[in-house]
Structure 1
Amino acid sequence: MLDQLRRLLSDLTGASEHDEFALDDHRVAAAALLVNLVSADGVASESEKIALHDVLKARFALDEHETAELIEAGRRREADAVDLYGFTSVLKRSLDAQGRAGVVEMMWEIVFADGAAHELEDNIVWRAADLLGVSDRERVELKRRIAARAKPLGAAEPA
């Protein structure tokens, strides 16, 4: 009977029995927020897609398969969303202050993956940080730190 109920709920939510991540998993909320950010400026660059993969894999200690599954779960979650609150509310309930700041840090890593911050991306990070309870001071400090590490587009690799 429980299996039938699970199948019914999976059918209703569009989730597969083989999904590795629950819809209320904070990792899915973070992935959805990052997926939203990747396409914010209208161009999902290859560098942003690679950064999305690498950031999620490293932050959540996932293997390649799990990372691909998480990104797909994030895409589905983001496609159903109408605003950032759906993601940030899960993150705020699930993570402590340091974890929420880590999400903002991941966002900046995505923003600077292509070498520059677009104003729409900056605005999304600002709104998400506010909803996550990350102070303006901490948000700006994280931005400065990640921007300093970011390689501008067209910059040569050190010899």
Structure 2
Amino acid sequence: MIERFLSFLKTLPGTPDRHDHHDDPRVAASALLYHVMNVDGERQDVEWERFKAILSKSYAVSGKELDELVQAGAEAERESVDFYAFTSVLNRHLDHEGRKAFIELMWEIVFADGELHELEDNTVWRVAELLDVEREDRIAARRKVAARLSDIKKP
């Protein structure tokens, strides 16, 4: 499922224009991922690296293009007053499976530091609701990511 989502994201055109990103799903995704990374007030290096890796893999960008996408997402997140502006863009551009896969990416950011903060959990829940991702799918994605990351950390 996540591979299909990543494949779809790679087909989206061009690099985001910092001044015209109101309907760019890449910027919307970047902004939401940026928000969940920072919501607990403690951005760790491992979260920052995971955030950039997700964007790089999801959109097949690197170097300057990746930096521009990160900057556009950070700027959009700072200027926003709610999640709706971003989730409405994703709802228009992603099918249901794509939206579920996006929630899984959010969990990857959340668990990058090995901890689950209640503000992170609440943020993913609110975004999932706005993306019409069912509670069961949100929880399944959380468990899947947590299990995968715990398997990676085991010696």
TM (normalized to structure 2)? 0.83
Identity %: 45
State the partner residue of 1:56: 55
Q: Which residue of 1 aligns with 2:10?
A: none
* Residue 90 of structure 1: aligned partner: 89
Deviation of residue 63 (structure 1)?
2.2
* Runs of at least 5 residues in structure 1 that lack an aligned partner in the other structure: 1-18
Aligned to 1:25: 24
Aligned to 2:135: 136
Greater fraction of residues in helix: 2
Alignment of 1:6-155 (within 5 A): 20-21=15-16, 22-23=20-21, 24-151=23-150
Tell me if the contact between 1:57 and 1:64 (Cα under 8 Å) persists in the aligned partners: no
CA distance in 1, matches of 2:65, 2:25: 15
The separation in 2 between residues aligned to 1:151 and 1:141, in whole angstroms, is: 15
Distance 2:53 2:128 in 1: 21
CA deviation digits over 1:76-106, x for unaligned, max 9? 1001000111110110111111111121011
- Residues 108 and 143, structure 1, Cα contact 8 Å, conserved in 2: yes
Question: What is the identity, as a one-letter code, of the residue corresponding to 1:137?
Answer: E
Letter paired with 1:29? A
Q: CA RMSD in A?
A: 1.7
Alpha-carbon distance in 2 for matches of 1:64, 1:137: 37
TM-score normalized by the length of structure 1: 0.81
In structure 1, C-alpha distance between the alignment counterparts of 2:117 and 2:63, rounded to whole Å: 29
Q: Which residue identity lines up with residue 60 of structure 2 in the other structure?
A: A
CA distance in 1, matches of 2:81, 2:38: 15
TM-aligned CA deviation for residue 151 of structure 1: 4.2
CA distance in 2 between counterparts of 1:30 and 1:91 reads 7
Distance in 2, matches of 1:145 and 1:151, equals 10
CA distance in 1, matches of 2:140, 2:54: 19
Greater RCO, 1 or 2 (C-alpha within 8 Å, sep 6+): 2
Moved over 2 A (4+): none
